[in-house]
Structure 1
Amino acid sequence: MAPLRLLTTLLLFGLASAAAADRIQHHELDNGLTVLVQEDHRGGVVASMLWYHVGSGHEHRPITGISHAVEHMMFKGTEVRGTGEFARLIAREGGRTNAFTARDFTGYFQLLAADRLELAMELEAERMHRLVFDPEEFQREMQVIHEERRQRVDDPPEARAFERFTATAHMASPYRHPIIGWRKDLERLRLEELEAWYQRWYTPGNATLVVVGAVEPERVFELAERHFGAVPAGEVEPPPEGREIATGPGERRIEVRFEDARVPLLFLGYNVPSLATAAEPSDAYALLLAAELLDGGRSARLPEELVRGPGLATSASVGYSPVARLDTLFSLVARPSEGHDLDELESALREQVRRLRDDPVEDSELERAITRLLAAEVYAQDAPMGRAQRLGRLASTGIGWEEAQRFEERVRAVTPEDIQRVARTYLEPERLTVGRLLPGEEE
């Protein structure tokens, strides 16, 4: 059987299997907490994820990094449990737990045997409104965060360059702030500010509980009422605005040179809409497929025409996620190979973007991209955690969890004309930021 036909067969089988488990049950508590349940009895486990609709995209100077700092404090004890007890109780039952902070949300998850779900709900409900902000624990965690920032951002030259590029590309958006926070803001962050942030955003009406696995929806709703129902509702504040300038602020360029950089790196970023901000959902899906055409596997355009073909680049990639609360970036990142420079590479990347604008994609190439994208989605949603992440991200960004059930239909509806239209509308110089990382001068 030919590779593409085999992939299509597997994809259709996967979509059929997923459809059987795609029924999502929805319930809302009186205090505003949204509960989503998706049954998946293929294994005996359950993923429980509590999503708070707050992240670095809600922050401002001088308190950047505060959402991530609150995430750290969520593991430091409550009014009835000490530091580390949450994780120890989950581990004792054979489960695992962790958390993450992003631009639009902060998520907390547990992966457990299905019959241990109630423990996760009990613990999460407790720290939703009974968290303790201990000064000594705060000082210790801030040292951990400073070290985390040093390792992830301050030390790697590529990360330092990307931080500056992002701040330039997002002129009018809080996405310009690093998720971990600016270093100077972290140095002055105060415990009372964290507690106020927690009181402001960690409320049932600003949260979504997602449970996926070997569970019965009515039983999950019963447990949610039992453990979260008594949590005070609090006030739900609207998230801050932060749309980019509609027509683009004009092409911007940033160039940085670091002595510890060994090889150059090129960033191109176009300000584009997300599913939450696009005039039509088809715009976001067309952009998603444009990214797939450029960088969707070894046969995509960038690997074929920049890396393996003329050998201009040692690596070239494209990034675009339609799941965001605000306008986002369609970004291209590439590293030139030996004997080639950033000018050549930038011209080659701009040529790839021009082709999307001026030359309609062949139906056969688009069909291959659609097949790859749908296959990747099926594989990503195969486990309960992947399904829970998809639902939580959609709910937390204001797009709505219902969009998960329209994904395949929306992707298949994209036409060559759609891709050409969004490329002409959004992938234009007025919306472009170019970033260059240059290595230090040789001694």
Structure 2
Amino acid sequence: GGHYSHLQRWLDRENLGRGAMDQLAVELGLACSQRAPLAPLGAEQLERLRSDWYVPGNMTLILVGDLDPRLPAYLTRTFGTLEDHELPERRELPAANGHAEARRTLITRPFGEGAMLHWIYPEPDDADPDAMVLLQAYMNDALYADLRVRRGLTYGPSTDRQVFANQGFFSLDADVERSDLPATEAALRELLDGIRQHGLDPGRFKRVQFAERARLAWSTQGNAALADYYWGSLADYEDGHFPNEERRLAKVSLQQANALAKRLFDGEGYLRIEKPLFDDDMLYPLLLAAGLLASGLLWFGLRRRRA
């Protein structure tokens, strides 16, 4: 929520200024079309919100790094004095309504030569998280090899994953020139058709799996990143231990990843193209036309005044 201007409200209403994934979530009913205003909220509502949810039973303490050993005791004593009670029933998250266009062009600015192509697929509800990690790494490698190395269409193709409500989305992204949009779309379609028909390449999958395991084994994370990891893994915390991510990735088989890829890329998905309204070559003709129109109106006005 927050206070935002009439311009921002107009941009939201006209579906401008949002990313492709956010816009798709709005179309599917998984995200709000406008930001929530703060004006209707009163002090009593905020106090009730605090008393309902700001309770010890709804708190988790995660400490990472060299901290004062007295800090956990202080935090436990401070927040433990709050009155504890049962949490209110959580509101059910919305489900996708399926009412989204399969293909849509989003205008980003008046002029420019660049464009972004997003091919978005809803993730299966029961998708294995470790298989999804490897599949994303596989698609990053495949996109780079095909769109960057082989075809030279884009410098840095990538993938993205986001969650709206209870629905996850997987996006294939490419930053290209406007003139290369048809070729990029055809290349992505060819890549996806190959996965649907023949599955993942065994050699590439093995190489990507090894690289991801090595990255987990050798990477050094800061305290903040570790705290975020522990927070995100609380659901898997069992018997005083967090899961070993490297071992879990090692257990993902090619057959498992193939089955997930075919389920993920089943269907056409949602194609979103972000591009300017006009390319730069149209700037000078439009300026010339505007100048001629202004000159004509000025000449016509002067002529009428003399008459």
Bucket of the pairwise TM-score, normalised by the shorter protein: 0.7 to 0.9
| Partners of 1:312 and 1:345 within 8 A in 2 | yes
> Are residue 290 (structure 1) and residue 135 (structure 2) matched?
yes
Q: TM-score, normalised by structure 2?
A: 0.72
The 3-state SS of whatever aligns with 2:104 is strand
Q: Distance in 2 between matches of 1:346 and 1:411?
A: 31
The structure 1 residue matched to 2:25, chosen from 161, 166, 172, is 166
Of 200, 223, 231, 1:361 maps to 200
Matched AA of 1:386: A
The number of residue pairs the alignment matches comes to 270
Structure holding more strand per residue: 1
Provide the secondary structure at the position in 2 that maps to 1:436.
strand
Of structures 1 and 2, the larger Rg is shown by 2
Of the three residues 245, 261, 276, the one matched with 1:439 is: 276
Task: Indicate the residue corresponding to 2:85 in structure 1.
Answer: 234
1:439, 1:210 → 2: CA distance?
A: 45
Q: d(CA) in 2 for partners of 1:252 and 1:200?
A: 41
Structure 2 portions without partners, runs of 5+: 287-307
Say which SS state the counterpart of residue 258 (structure 2) adopts: helix
Q: Does 1:413 align with 2:251?
A: yes
TM-score, normalization: structure 1? 0.52
When residues 290 and 159 of structure 1 are mapped into structure 2, their CA distance, relative to the original with a 3 A threshold, is farther
Conserved? CA contact 2:29–2:94, under 8 Å: yes
Letter in structure 1 aligned against 2:132: L
Offset, 1:210: 0.9
RMSD: 3.5
Indicate if the aligned counterparts of 1:390 and 1:404 stay in contact, CA closer than 8 A.
Answer: no
Tell me, yes or no, if the aligned pair for 2:63 and 2:227 is still in contact at 8 Å: yes
Sort the Cα spacing of 1:291 and 1:340 in 2 relative to 1 into closer, same or farther, 3 A.
same
Aligned to 1:429: 267
Higher relative contact order (CA 8 A, sep 6+): 2
1:338 to 1:267, Cα distance in 2 relative to 1, 3 A: closer
Structure 2 residue aligned with 1:205: 57
Quick one: distance in 2 between partners of 1:270 and 1:290? Answer: 13
**Fraction of identical pairs, as percent:** 21
Distance change (3 Å), C-alpha of 1:255 and 1:408: same
Does the CA contact (< 8 Å) of 2:107 and 2:276 recur in 1? Answer: yes
**1:238–1:378 Cα change, 3 Å:** farther
Deviates most, 323-332 or 366-375: 323-332
Q: Deviations over 1:193-228 (max 9, x none)?
A: 4444333333322232211123598x6653343222
Partner Cα distance (2:137, 2:210) in 1: 10
Q: Name structure 1 gaps, 5 residues minimum.
A: 1-64, 66-141
